[in-house]
Amino acid sequence: MDYYDYIVIGSGIAGLYTALLAKEHGSVLILSKGSIDDCNTKHAQGGIAAAISRDDSADVHFKDTIAAGAGLSNPEAVRILAKDAPDRITDLIKFGVPFDTFEGEIALTREAAHSTSRILHAGGDATGAHIELTLSHQIRLAKIRVLEYCLATQIVTDNKRVTGVRALDCHTGSIEEFGCRFLVLASGGAGCLFKYTTNPQVATADGIALAFNAGAEVSCMEFVQFHPTALRLPGTPPFLISEAVRGEGGILRNIEGRRFMGDYTPQKELACRDVVARSILYEIRKTGHEQVFLDVTHLPPNRITTRFPQIYRFCLDHGLDITRTPIPVAPAAHYMMGGVRTNVWGETNIGSMFAAGEVACTGVHGANRLASNSLMETIVFAKRIVQRTTTEKASPLPKEEIPCELYYLNKREVIKDVPPLKLSSLQSMMWEKVGILRSGNSLKEAVSILTTWEHNLETPTDRYSHELSNMVLTARLVTESALLREESRGAHFRLDFPELSPHWHKYLVFRKQ
């Protein structure tokens, strides 16, 4: 059995950045179930948030993040994010990330719910792709071992400490085992649980299911962020239309051409994502059409083509010139605020196991992620993970500032009349019953279906069956959490409990019995 100091599961920015830092302290193996280029990171258009301008500060960044989190952001984690962000930008620049500049300084833009311009971008709307390509190039230069098309299927533990990983070779079907001192989960999110998503096909919640089955705690699973503006064209998969398009002055109009966001919120297009997503959904239902329109035709065409070249080119390739025609959009699943529960050093409740990136729940995002904080959270806490593994006498952990309540996935009654389990049936059911607008009745129906599918699952043998099994488990964690939380907070909205309640000012934590 091959043995490494660090095994990193995932090849997005979280995995690559962690691996590059860990390389200075021992041997590193990266496991990627696809190619090293298959990840959410390269799809991140909006950018990365850091208080680097003269008119900004870590304190203001902190306050904006706390406000977006609807009372459930961990203040200590947010302080760390806001304080460390400028230094992590410096690290990325040293690695070679080509952030856009204007008159010799890094260009900054503003996105919804930020009180000032603090969003750095690269290649206009290709920020994620530039960071991913830069870090993957550095990985190759460092000669870090990467096993592609190798799906982690089990975390091996001994006395509640990680000892290694079992993984499936997706080409040969063989199972391999690797030993390690430290395991870092950086496997991304769970967007593919839903019929409409901005995520690529690899976002199948593998890390959450892996960790949960190993005994790790997961938290805040009810908080799924739905991006308000994904391209909705017949025959075209949903494609993210960045938050920054509205930040640059894009206007949302209904089928009649009327600007409608003022009917729902005084912040109009610059309200938090959850508010904009729900407003669009209400407007869609009111007008009876499947989409609304994001209009940038009033802006200078060269501003659109230079600031959003990727969006402009994708739409043009599908017959839509966005400088002349409004963009048809509708909400889509985008980001998982919940995940594997960590402290502010990325540690889980399993010894020697850490989590970073979207798979982790650090508490930064609370009930609703502030735009462009996700990439920054990834590199801030990846850095802290490596620091934790290399410091014998680490500083004491701060006391939890938000209470937690522990739950288990109890056995539920298996029902007979359920649709056959397929990826499409799972995604449709989650979109309809556990989507943007939820209710107790729909959530109970979803739990019954998921429990039955879980009961009928056969032992996974290949990548597809492993992914489907992971998605059913994670979907149940999302649904059970949403059913428990009898209030509306951030991205979680209950039609039968439409108000925020102080009783639910707590984290819902699940652990396997």
**Total structural domains within the chain:** 2
CA atoms within 13 A on the CB side of 315: 24
The total number of residues written for the chain in this structure: 513
Segments forming the whole domain that contains residue 237: 228-332
d(CA 363, CA 109): 25
Phi, psi of 148 (to 5 degrees): -85, 160
SS3 content of the chain, % helix, strand, coil (to 5): 35, 20, 40
pLDDT tens string 497-507 = 999 999 999 99
pLDDT tens string 43-98 = 555 689 999 999 999 999 999 999 999 999 999 999 999 999 999 999 999 999 99
Based on the fold, state whether residues 408 and 502 are members of the same structural domain. Answer: yes
Does 434 reside within a domain?
yes
User: Is the Cα dihedral 458, 461, 464, 470 positive or negative?
Assistant: positive
Q: Kindly report the pTM of this predicted structure.
A: 0.94
d(CA 368, CA 365): 6
**CATH code of the domain in which 464 resides:** 1.20.58.100
- What DSSP letter does each residue of 14-41 carry, written as one string? HHHHHHHHHGGGS-EEEE-SS-TT-SSG
d(CA 53, CA 339): 32
* Both tokens assigned to 326: 């409004």
Please identify, among 332, 352, 377, the residue that sits at the C-terminal boundary of a domain. Answer: 332
Does 199 reside within a domain?
no
d(CA 47, CA 122): 7
What are the C-alpha distances in Å from 419 to residues 52, 150, 214, 424, 460?
A: 52, 31, 29, 11, 20
Residue 273 designated active-site: yes
Does 316 reside within a domain?
yes
d(CA 19, CA 13): 10
Query: Which of 117-126, 351-360, 415-424 is predicted with the least confidence, judged by mean pLDDT?
Result: 117-126
Helix (H) or strand (E) holding 158: strand 150-158
pLDDT tens string 202-220 = 999 999 999 999 999 999 9
Q: What is the mean pLDDT of the chain?
A: 94
Does 414 reside within a domain?
yes
pLDDT tens string 257-297 = 999 999 999 999 988 888 999 999 999 999 999 999 999 99
Which residue is catalytic, options 88, 232, 273, 369? 273
d(CA 206, CA 223): 18
